[in-house]
A and B are shown apart, each in its own frame.
Chain A
Amino acid sequence: GAVVSQHPSWVICKSGTSVKIECRSLDFQATTMFWYRQFPKQSLMLMATSNEGSKATYEQGVEKDKFLINHASLTLSTLTVTSAHPEDSSFYICSASGPGSYNSPLHFGNGTRLTVT
Protein backbone atom coordinates (compact mmCIF):
# COMPACT_ATOMS: atom_id res chain seq x y z
CA GLY A 1 0.00 0.00 0.00
CA ALA A 2 0.87 3.65 -0.19
CA VAL A 3 3.55 4.71 2.26
CA VAL A 4 4.12 8.26 3.43
CA SER A 5 7.20 9.06 5.46
CA GLN A 6 7.48 12.16 7.63
CA HIS A 7 10.61 13.50 9.27
CA PRO A 8 11.46 14.37 11.96
CA SER A 9 9.14 12.54 14.36
CA TRP A 10 9.66 15.17 17.00
CA VAL A 11 11.57 18.41 17.34
CA ILE A 12 12.20 20.89 20.10
CA CYS A 13 13.26 24.39 19.13
CA LYS A 14 13.68 27.77 20.71
CA SER A 15 11.24 30.58 20.13
CA GLY A 16 12.15 32.62 17.07
CA THR A 17 13.85 29.84 15.15
CA SER A 18 12.55 28.06 12.05
CA VAL A 19 11.79 24.38 11.70
CA LYS A 20 11.49 22.34 8.52
CA ILE A 21 9.36 19.21 8.31
CA GLU A 22 9.65 16.81 5.37
CA CYS A 23 6.96 14.60 3.90
CA ARG A 24 7.89 11.94 1.36
CA SER A 25 5.84 9.49 -0.64
CA LEU A 26 7.89 6.30 -0.83
CA ASP A 27 6.13 4.15 -3.40
CA PHE A 28 3.97 6.47 -5.47
CA GLN A 29 4.02 9.87 -7.08
CA ALA A 30 2.27 12.35 -4.83
CA THR A 31 0.76 14.99 -7.06
CA THR A 32 -1.03 16.48 -4.09
CA MET A 33 0.02 16.70 -0.46
CA PHE A 34 -1.96 18.00 2.48
CA TRP A 35 -0.67 19.47 5.71
CA TYR A 36 -2.69 19.18 8.90
CA ARG A 37 -2.19 20.45 12.42
CA GLN A 38 -3.60 18.86 15.54
CA PHE A 39 -3.67 20.43 18.99
CA PRO A 40 -4.11 18.21 22.07
CA LYS A 41 -7.52 16.57 22.29
CA GLN A 42 -8.65 18.25 19.09
CA SER A 43 -9.18 16.95 15.59
CA LEU A 44 -7.05 17.45 12.52
CA MET A 45 -7.25 20.91 11.01
CA LEU A 46 -6.28 21.26 7.37
CA MET A 47 -3.64 23.94 6.93
CA ALA A 48 -2.91 23.82 3.23
CA THR A 49 -3.01 21.81 0.04
CA SER A 50 0.07 21.65 -2.13
CA ASN A 51 0.29 20.50 -5.71
CA GLU A 52 3.60 19.58 -7.26
CA GLY A 53 5.19 22.51 -9.02
CA SER A 54 2.66 25.13 -7.95
CA LYS A 55 1.93 27.35 -5.00
CA ALA A 56 0.12 25.89 -2.02
CA THR A 57 -3.50 26.74 -1.28
CA TYR A 58 -3.91 27.76 2.33
CA GLU A 59 -7.04 27.37 4.42
CA GLN A 60 -8.64 30.43 5.91
CA GLY A 61 -6.79 31.71 8.96
CA VAL A 62 -3.48 30.01 8.14
CA GLU A 63 -0.62 32.47 7.61
CA LYS A 64 1.16 31.57 4.39
CA ASP A 65 4.20 33.67 5.28
CA LYS A 66 4.61 31.79 8.54
CA PHE A 67 3.99 28.29 7.25
CA LEU A 68 6.02 27.95 4.07
CA ILE A 69 5.18 24.97 1.93
CA ASN A 70 7.32 23.70 -0.91
CA HIS A 71 6.32 20.82 -3.18
CA ALA A 72 9.17 20.80 -5.65
CA SER A 73 9.02 17.15 -6.65
CA LEU A 74 6.48 14.35 -6.94
CA THR A 75 7.83 12.65 -3.85
CA LEU A 76 8.67 15.47 -1.46
CA SER A 77 6.86 18.32 0.21
CA THR A 78 8.23 20.43 3.04
CA LEU A 79 6.58 22.60 5.65
CA THR A 80 8.72 25.27 7.28
CA VAL A 81 7.44 26.91 10.43
CA THR A 82 9.18 30.27 10.43
CA SER A 83 9.92 32.28 13.57
CA ALA A 84 8.25 29.63 15.69
CA HIS A 85 6.51 30.60 18.92
CA PRO A 86 5.21 28.47 21.79
CA GLU A 87 1.67 28.68 20.40
CA ASP A 88 2.93 26.87 17.28
CA SER A 89 3.64 23.80 19.41
CA SER A 90 1.45 21.12 17.90
CA PHE A 91 1.33 17.80 16.08
CA TYR A 92 1.85 18.35 12.35
CA ILE A 93 0.77 15.58 9.98
CA CYS A 94 1.11 15.31 6.22
CA SER A 95 -0.82 13.16 3.81
CA ALA A 96 -0.49 12.51 0.13
CA SER A 97 -2.48 11.36 -2.86
CA GLY A 98 -1.40 10.35 -6.32
CA PRO A 99 -2.80 11.08 -9.78
CA GLY A 100 -6.31 9.76 -10.29
CA SER A 101 -6.56 8.69 -6.68
CA TYR A 102 -8.78 11.46 -5.38
CA ASN A 103 -11.38 8.82 -4.61
CA SER A 104 -8.91 6.77 -2.60
CA PRO A 105 -8.31 7.17 1.11
CA LEU A 106 -5.55 9.48 2.18
CA HIS A 107 -2.55 7.89 3.81
CA PHE A 108 -0.82 9.84 6.50
CA GLY A 109 2.73 10.26 7.60
CA ASN A 110 3.53 9.44 11.22
CA GLY A 111 3.41 13.07 12.22
CA THR A 112 5.87 15.52 13.75
CA ARG A 113 5.55 16.65 17.34
CA LEU A 114 6.83 20.25 17.50
CA THR A 115 7.60 21.83 20.85
CA VAL A 116 8.66 25.46 20.90
CA THR A 117 10.28 26.62 24.14
Chain B
Amino acid sequence: GQNIDQPTEMTATEGAIVQINCTYQTSGFNGLFWYQQHAGEAPTFLSYNVLDGLEEKGRFSSFLSRSKGYSYLLLKELQMKDSASYLCAVRSGNTGKLIFGQGTTLQVKP
Protein backbone atom coordinates (compact mmCIF):
# COMPACT_ATOMS: atom_id res chain seq x y z
CA GLY B 1 0.00 0.00 0.00
CA GLN B 2 0.87 3.64 0.19
CA ASN B 3 1.66 5.76 3.20
CA ILE B 4 2.26 9.51 3.22
CA ASP B 5 3.14 11.43 6.37
CA GLN B 6 3.41 15.13 7.00
CA PRO B 7 3.06 17.24 10.15
CA THR B 8 -0.47 18.24 11.04
CA GLU B 9 0.20 21.85 11.99
CA MET B 10 2.98 24.41 11.79
CA THR B 11 3.30 28.03 12.82
CA ALA B 12 5.73 30.58 11.42
CA THR B 13 6.33 34.31 11.44
CA GLU B 14 5.70 36.70 8.58
CA GLY B 15 8.89 37.23 6.56
CA ALA B 16 10.50 34.03 7.80
CA ILE B 17 11.24 30.72 6.06
CA VAL B 18 9.37 27.50 6.77
CA GLN B 19 10.03 23.94 5.66
CA ILE B 20 7.22 21.40 5.47
CA ASN B 21 8.38 17.80 5.34
CA CYS B 22 6.72 14.82 3.72
CA THR B 23 7.75 11.18 3.87
CA TYR B 24 6.19 8.51 1.75
CA GLN B 25 6.19 4.81 1.02
CA THR B 26 4.87 3.65 -2.30
CA SER B 27 5.51 1.27 -5.14
CA GLY B 28 6.01 2.44 -8.70
CA PHE B 29 6.81 6.01 -7.69
CA ASN B 30 6.04 8.42 -10.52
CA GLY B 31 6.25 11.88 -9.02
CA LEU B 32 5.54 13.93 -5.93
CA PHE B 33 3.34 17.01 -5.93
CA TRP B 34 2.69 19.85 -3.55
CA TYR B 35 -0.61 21.68 -3.47
CA GLN B 36 -1.86 24.65 -1.49
CA GLN B 37 -5.44 24.69 -0.25
CA HIS B 38 -7.24 27.54 1.43
CA ALA B 39 -10.26 26.72 3.55
CA GLY B 40 -13.34 25.98 1.47
CA GLU B 41 -11.43 26.06 -1.82
CA ALA B 42 -9.99 23.46 -4.18
CA PRO B 43 -6.25 22.72 -4.11
CA THR B 44 -3.94 24.72 -6.36
CA PHE B 45 -0.76 23.25 -7.80
CA LEU B 46 2.54 24.50 -6.37
CA SER B 47 5.33 22.20 -7.49
CA TYR B 48 6.27 18.81 -8.88
CA ASN B 49 9.34 16.59 -8.45
CA VAL B 50 10.03 13.32 -10.20
CA LEU B 51 13.84 13.35 -10.07
CA ASP B 52 16.04 13.92 -7.02
CA GLY B 53 16.95 17.47 -6.24
CA LEU B 54 15.55 20.91 -5.75
CA GLU B 55 12.94 22.63 -7.87
CA GLU B 56 12.61 26.38 -7.35
CA LYS B 57 9.61 28.51 -8.30
CA GLY B 58 9.81 32.00 -6.88
CA ARG B 59 9.21 31.95 -3.13
CA PHE B 60 8.46 28.23 -3.21
CA SER B 61 10.95 25.40 -3.58
CA SER B 62 10.50 21.66 -3.34
CA PHE B 63 13.08 18.96 -2.76
CA LEU B 64 12.93 15.24 -3.41
CA SER B 65 15.04 12.27 -2.36
CA ARG B 66 13.63 9.10 -3.86
CA SER B 67 16.03 6.81 -2.01
CA LYS B 68 14.86 8.22 1.31
CA GLY B 69 11.19 8.58 0.36
CA TYR B 70 11.39 12.19 1.46
CA SER B 71 10.36 15.57 0.19
CA TYR B 72 10.04 19.03 1.59
CA LEU B 73 8.36 22.26 0.56
CA LEU B 74 10.25 25.42 1.40
CA LEU B 75 8.42 28.71 1.63
CA LYS B 76 10.50 31.89 1.79
CA GLU B 77 9.56 35.44 2.74
CA LEU B 78 6.35 34.26 4.31
CA GLN B 79 3.27 36.38 3.83
CA MET B 80 0.02 36.31 5.77
CA LYS B 81 -1.76 34.98 2.68
CA ASP B 82 0.44 31.87 2.86
CA SER B 83 -1.67 30.67 5.79
CA ALA B 84 -3.28 27.57 4.30
CA SER B 85 -3.07 23.81 4.17
CA TYR B 86 -0.21 22.30 2.20
CA LEU B 87 -0.84 18.90 0.70
CA CYS B 88 1.83 16.41 -0.30
CA ALA B 89 0.63 13.97 -2.95
CA VAL B 90 2.30 10.97 -4.56
CA ARG B 91 1.63 9.49 -7.97
CA SER B 92 2.41 5.82 -8.52
CA GLY B 93 2.28 3.95 -11.78
CA ASN B 94 0.95 5.61 -14.90
CA THR B 95 -2.74 5.88 -14.08
CA GLY B 96 -2.28 9.51 -13.20
CA LYS B 97 -4.08 9.35 -9.88
CA LEU B 98 -2.67 11.13 -6.85
CA ILE B 99 -2.80 9.93 -3.29
CA PHE B 100 -2.70 12.74 -0.76
CA GLY B 101 -1.16 13.04 2.66
CA GLN B 102 -3.27 14.42 5.48
CA GLY B 103 -2.04 17.95 4.85
CA THR B 104 -0.12 20.47 6.96
CA THR B 105 -2.00 23.51 8.22
CA LEU B 106 0.38 26.46 8.25
CA GLN B 107 -0.43 29.54 10.27
CA VAL B 108 1.58 32.65 9.54
CA LYS B 109 1.65 35.16 12.37
CA PRO B 110 2.61 38.86 12.20
Q: Interface on A for B, CB 8 Å cutoff?
A: 6, 32, 34, 36, 42-46, 49, 91, 93, 95, 97, 101-103, 105-111, 113
Q: Tell me if A102 and B94 are in contact (CB < 8 A).
A: yes
Q: Please tell me which one of the listed residues B42, B44, B87 contacts residue A43 in the complex, with CB atoms under 8 A apart.
A: B87
A105 touches B45 (CB 8 A): yes
Question: B110 at interface (Cβ–Cβ under 8 A)?
Answer: no
Check if A111 sits within 8 Å of B96, measured CB to CB.
Answer: no
Q: How far is the CB of B107 from chain A (nearest CB, A)?
A: 14
Known A102-B95, A103-B30, A105-B33: A44·B45 in contact at CB below 8 Å: no
Contacts of A45 in B (CB 8 A): 100
What total of chain B residues lie within 8 Å of the partner, measured CB to CB? 23
A43 touches B97 (CB 8 A): no
Given contacts A44-B87, A108-B42, A111-B41, 7 further A-B contacts (CB under 8 A): A32-B95, A43-B101, A46-B98, A102-B91, A102-B95, A103-B50, A106-B45
Complex Cα distance, B102 from A113, in Å, reads 19
Least CB distance, A11 to chain B, in whole angstroms: 15
How far is the CB of B55 from the nearest CB of chain A, in Å? Answer: 12
Cα A46 to Cα B96 in complex, Å, equals 12
* B18 part of interface (Cβ distance < 8 Å): no
Interface residues of B in 32-84 (CB under 8 A from A): 33, 40-45, 48, 50
What is the bound-complex CA distance between A49 and B93, given in angstroms?
14
Cα distance, A44 to B85, chains bound together (Å): 12
In chain B, positions 1-54 with a C-beta closer than 8 Å to chain A are 30-31, 33, 40-45, 48, 50
Q: Which 8 A-B pairs have the closest CB atoms?
A: A102-B96, A108-B42, A105-B45, A44-B100, A43-B103, A43-B102, A111-B42, A97-B96
Q: Which residues of A contact B100 (CB under 8 A)?
A: 36, 43-46
Measured CA separation A34–B38 after assembly (Å): 20
8 CB contacts below 8 A, A to B, read A34-B97, A43-B100, A43-B101, A46-B97, A93-B42, A102-B30, A103-B30, A105-B45
| Chain B residues closer than 8 Å to A101, beta-carbon distance | 96
